[in-house]
Amino acid sequence: MITPREDEPRIEYLARVLHAFIKENGIAAECTVDYDETTCDGYCLAQDFINELNINLEGE
């Protein structure tokens, strides 16, 4: 189970939950979206989202 870290903003917590959901469900590679002049699958999109928020996923 993913749990919030101490003093973690809810947006960061939910971003970590979303990232784990996409990674664990395997559907991400089958779906793509075009943005930022590239085609990205769910894994790429989840990672881009995490990177944009500067969230540390170590230990996840």
pLDDT tens figures, 8-58: 999 999 888 988 888 887 666 778 889 999 998 888 888 888 888 888 877
- The answer to whether position 41 is within a domain reads yes
The residues near 16 (Cβ < 8 Å, ≥ 6 apart) are: 2, 50, 55, 57, 60
Question: Helix (H, G, I), strand (E, B), or coil: what is residue 7?
Answer: coil
pTM: 0.68
Domain count across the chain: 1
Token couple for 14: 């939910």
Q: What's residue 13's pLDDT?
A: 93
Q: Which of 29, 2, 37, 39 is nearest to 17 (CA)?
A: 2
Structural domain range at position 41? 10-52
- The answer to whether position 5 is within a domain reads no
- The answer to whether position 3 is within a domain reads no
Q: What's residue 7's pLDDT?
A: 95
Are residues 2 and 17 in contact, defined by beta-carbon separation less than 8 angstroms? yes
